[in-house]
Amino acid sequence: MRVALIQHTPDPEKVVAAAARLCYSSDPVPDLLERFDHETVARFVRKLREMGHLSPFEHASFQFSIDGVSRALSHQLVRHRIASYSQRSQRYVKENGFEFVIPPSIGRKPEALERFETVMARLQEDYQELLNCVPAEDARYVLPNACTTSLMASFNARSLLNFFEHRTCTRAQWEIRDLAETMLGLVRGVAPNLFSEAGPTCVTQGVCHQGTYSCGRLKSLEGKKT
């Protein structure tokens, strides 16, 4: 998996703070931006987060390049609808000798790994043979979820908070959890105040919404507090 933050709103925290301040000020945004210093911005962002007033967060956007992830992951990723995605097309880009993701549970068991790699090799042969007689858009029907893909994804900060809440949870599937944790580290590097409280609700709110499916992490966190 290769993930990069390729672009983001310049000075995203100041933009968020100015957007929020505008609601209660007669001054234009450029003037507000000039007056905000780092301390004021950090304080403003923290206050917005504590109040749950997150609509100003939507003015800050972040663009990521994501490579070497599986189609299984990308199908989960696009369920986060308040975002924009561009993905390598299997209609127009042929997957000759495609790469694939090996789940850790399979990689740890030699017999499972051997079976998995045998299946991938056979699918590669079948795909290649189909390419010789049908269009790539039809040959792709035999490609597996393990087949790797590349995407560009754009999120606003509020949508990212929702993404991190759900996908850094230990109940999230391992691959998309790895992606979410990597993305969180990247955005914290450029907007630490926006994302200082990002993560699963057991960590950020002291509550778990998984019910009987809870991983038990909340109880361990409560134990540490006592």
User: DSSP letters along 116-176, please?
Assistant: HHHHHHHHHHHHHHHHTTS-HHHHGGG--TTBEEEEEEEEEHHHHHHHHHHHSSTTS-HHH
Q: What is the mean pLDDT of residues 6-15?
A: 95
Residue 131 sits in the same domain as residue 30: no
pLDDT tens digits along 122-136? 999 999 999 999 999
Mean pLDDT along residues 64-70: 98
State pLDDT tens for residues 100-125.
999 999 999 999 999 999 999 999 99
Q: Do residues 10 and 52 both lie within one domain? A: yes
Residue 137 has pLDDT above 60, yes or no: yes
pLDDT in tens, 156-201: 999 999 999 999 999 999 999 999 999 999 999 999 999 999 988 8
> Does residue 226 carry a pLDDT above 70?
no
pLDDT, tens digit, 9 for 90 and up, residues 30-52: 777 777 788 888 988 998 988 88
For 154, phi then psi, to 5°, come to -125, 125
Q: Residue 117 is part of which domain span?
A: 91-142
**What are the binding residues?**
55, 76-81, 87-91, 140, 156-158, 162, 167
**159 and 47 together in one domain:** yes
pLDDT of residue 27: 67
What is the pLDDT at residue 5? 98
86-100: pLDDT as tens digits: 999 999 999 999 999
Is residue 8 domain-shared with residue 67, that is, in the same domain? yes
Per the domain annotation, does 168 fall within a domain?
yes
The yes-or-no verdict on residue 79 having pLDDT over 80 is yes
Look at residue 58 in the predicted model and tell me its pLDDT: 96
Q: Are the C-beta atoms of 150 and 67 separated by less than 8 Å? A: yes
HSE of 221 in the Cβ direction (CA atoms, 13 Å)? 13
Number of domains in the chain: 2
Among 167, 177, 188, 217, the active-site one is 167
- CATH number of the domain to which 181 belongs: 3.30.1360.170
User: Residues of the chain with pLDDT > 90: what percent?
Assistant: 72
Same domain, 23 and 133: no
Q: Return the structure tokens found at 55.
A: 């609509």
Percent of the chain surpassing pLDDT 70: 95
Residue 167 annotated as catalytic: yes
- Structural domain includes residue 226: no
Strand partners, 150: 67
Q: Give the pLDDT band of residue 218 (cuts 50, 70, 90).
A: confident
**Which pLDDT score is estimated for 26?**
62
DSSP string over 69-115: EEHHHHHHHTT--SEEEEE--TTTS--TT--B---HHHHT-HHHHHH
Full-model pTM: 0.91
